[in-house]
């Protein structure tokens, strides 16, 4: 009888956490089920990991933490110990304390779907909804997920969509730039067959700026399927000691949003003001129609159409008019570590001076992937074409531009301070134009922090 009791204890001690198909019984009460190992351990000696599993199974969390802390002191990267620490905290509903353990596993094993699901669940419980949604969608890209798990994830996502009342974001950093005024590198141009020297201010200049973006939005429920959105954004790029190129934009918007099972549509009124060189530059206002729809659990289509009238400072009154801007995005989550996004767009700008009236096309592609060591990389090339209606009176040509742009961003997602992760980004722009005054190359860098993950 004594030996039989030992076997039972060993069976509990060798308990392993269930595979993905047992994950998430219910969004309100989901816990990780336990399944006994098929065969009882051949030895009567318990390993520290097995002892911790037994302690968790019987609810002795203090003992489990003591054991696991000892394991992690010897091996800080022990996947089993990290996972059990996350599980133990999740069972006690200490989700904020569980998050760092799940994140640390994904640093070296970003493709472990079970851990990503548990991280998303913990983020959901701490109301870090943007990050939870991101990780849930990556997990859904796993092709072999059982239908029950997919159903649970979709219920979490539905709850996130319905409860997101206040959202905000903040990014800031240093921004070295080789062409802060997007000007030509040439020191002279030819007008009416005669050479003219460009002033220093009109030529390409480099500098180091400090940029920041803060935006927030509040969503008020009117009915279960309709809510009112009110939001604002403030962007500033400042060059200490060279304020003539400082750039700042303030934008506000508001309007109703209709929620559907797999998407939403918003109709918004928009107002914006821009300052350049710390002086008023333009004021604009109009409307915006935007929405998104999940075509499948991996395919997301989103789109917007915006039309604004614009009035410029008297020195730039030749730009007074309106513009239309439209873009479509198709995102596909390839697997639990990556996604790709395509962009197709077009726009039109009507100005008081016909030489500046133009329409444009854009085509872009972005790819993002999570790697080991906590690194996430995103590369996004894009090309745009501009076609102007009137001839430039100085150069006698109807301007046509082709702009090539590529951005590379690298994030260290496992290192956070108050929820912010460091980011380094580099972008290169080359603008080819038949108007020599608008030919330029630009290298931009940014070293800062973001809340993206």
* Averages of pLDDT over each 10 residues, the chain, 453 residues: 37 44 47 35 69 92 94 93 95 95 93 95 93 93 90 92 87 90 64 50 79 94 95 95 90 96 95 94 97 94 98 92 97 95 98 94 97 93 95 80 97 77 94 89 91 59
Report pLDDT for 21.
52
Pairing outcome for strands 166-177 and 34-35? unpaired
Nearest to 182 by CA among 162, 152, 202, 163: 202
Contacts of 197 (CB under 8 A, 6+ apart): 187, 188
The superfamily in CATH containing domain 2-163 is: Tetratricopeptide repeat domain (1.25.40.10)
Report pLDDT for 36.
37
Tokens of residue 341, six digits? 């996004």
CA 203 – CA 225 distance, rounded (Å): 53
Tokens of residue 23, six digits? 């994950």
User: Collapsing DSSP states into helix, strand and coil, what is residue 238?
Assistant: strand
CA 417 – CA 108 distance, rounded (Å): 20
Nearest to 291 by CA among 203, 229, 232, 366: 229
Tokens of residue 437, six digits? 């005054």
Report pLDDT for 20.
57
Q: What are the distances in angstroms from CA 8 to CA 3, 4, 61, 185, 304?
A: 9, 6, 20, 79, 61
Report pLDDT for 29.
39
User: Collapsing DSSP states into helix, strand and coil, what is residue 320?
Assistant: coil
Handedness of CA 303, 309, 312, 317 (dihedral sign): positive
Report pLDDT for 185.
62
- Residues facing residue 339 across a β-bridge: 333, 368
User: Collapsing DSSP states into helix, strand and coil, what is residue 316?
Assistant: helix
Report pLDDT for 15.
39
CATH 1.10.357.10 describes domain 167-450: no
Across 310-341, b (16+ Cβ under 10 Å) vs e yields: bebeeebeebbbebebbbebebebebbbbbeb
Pairing outcome for strands 398-412 and 194-197? unpaired
Report pLDDT for 188.
52
Q: What are the distances in angstroms from CA 380 to CA 20, 261, 390?
A: 33, 30, 32
CA 280 – CA 272 distance, rounded (Å): 12
Q: How far is CA 296 from the centre of its chain?
A: 20
Please say whether the beta carbons of 55 and 63 come within 8 A: yes
> Can you point out the beta strands (E) in 198-335?
207-223, 226-238, 247-259, 263-276, 279-294, 299-312, 321-335
CA 215 – CA 169 distance, rounded (Å): 6
Report pLDDT for 199.
53
Secondary structure element (H or E) that encloses residue 325, with its range: strand 321-335
Pairing outcome for strands 263-276 and 247-259? antiparallel
User: Collapsing DSSP states into helix, strand and coil, what is residue 101?
Assistant: helix
> Angle, to 10 degrees, between the axis of helix 129-140 and the axis of helix 147-163?
160
The domain locations on the chain are: 2-163, 167-450
């Amino acid at each position: 009888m004594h030996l039989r009791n030992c076997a039972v204890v060993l069976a509990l001690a060798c308990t392993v956490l269930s595979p993905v198909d047992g994950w998430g019984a219910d969004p309100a009460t989901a816990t990780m089920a336990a399944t006994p190992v098929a065969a009882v351990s051949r030895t009567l000696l318990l390993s520290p990991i097995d002892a911790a599993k037994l302690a968790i199974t019987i609810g002795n969390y203090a003992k489990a933490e003591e054991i696991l802390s000892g394991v992690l002191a010897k091996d800080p990267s022990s996947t089993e110990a990290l996972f059990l620490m996350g599980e133990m905290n999740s069972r006690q509903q200490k989700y904020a304390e569980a998050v760092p353990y799940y994140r640390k596993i994904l640093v070296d094993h970003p493709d472990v779907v079970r851990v990503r699901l548990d991280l998303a669940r913990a983020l959901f419980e701490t109301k870090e909804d943007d990050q939870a949604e991101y990780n849930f969608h990556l997990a859904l890209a796993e092709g072999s997920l059982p239908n029950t798990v997919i159903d649970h994830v979709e219920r979490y996502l539905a709850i996130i969509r319905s409860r997101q009342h206040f959202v905000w974001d903040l990014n800031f950093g240093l921004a070295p730039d080789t062409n802060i005024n997007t000007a030509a590198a040439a020191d002279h141009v030819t007008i009416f067959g005669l050479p003219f020297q460009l002033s220093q201010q009109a030529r390409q200049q480099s500098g180091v700026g400090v940029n920041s973006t803060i935006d927030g939005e509040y969503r008020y429920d009117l009915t279960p399927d309709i809510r009112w959105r009110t939001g604002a954004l403030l962007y500033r790029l400042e060059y200490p000691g060279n304020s003539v190129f400082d750039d700042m934009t303030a934008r506000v918007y508001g309007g109703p949003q209709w929620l559907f099972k797999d998407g939403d549509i918003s109709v918004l009124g928009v107002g914006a003001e821009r300052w350049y060189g710390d002086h008023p530059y333009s004021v604009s206002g109009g409307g915006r129609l935007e929405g998104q729809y999940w075509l499948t659990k991996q395919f997301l289509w989103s789109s917007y159409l915006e039309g604004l009238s614009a009035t410029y400072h008297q020195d730039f009154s030749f730009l007074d008019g309106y513009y239309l801007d439209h873009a479509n995005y198709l995102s596909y989550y390839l697997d639990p570590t990556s996604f790709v996004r395509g962009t197709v767009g077009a726009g039109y700008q009507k100005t008081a001076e016909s030489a500046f009236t133009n329409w444009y096309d854009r085509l872009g592609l972005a790819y993002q992937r999570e790697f080991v060591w906590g690194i996430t990389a995103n590369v996004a090339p894009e090309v745009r074409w501009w076609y102007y209606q009137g001839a430039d009176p100085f150069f006698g040509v109807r301007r046509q531009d082709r702009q090539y742009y590529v951005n590379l961003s690298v994030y260290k997602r496992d290192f956070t301070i108050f929820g912010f992760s460091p980011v380094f980004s580099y972008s290169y722009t080359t603008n080819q134009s038949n108007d020599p005054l608008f030919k330029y190359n630009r290298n931009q860098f940014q070293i800062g922090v973001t809340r993206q993950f």
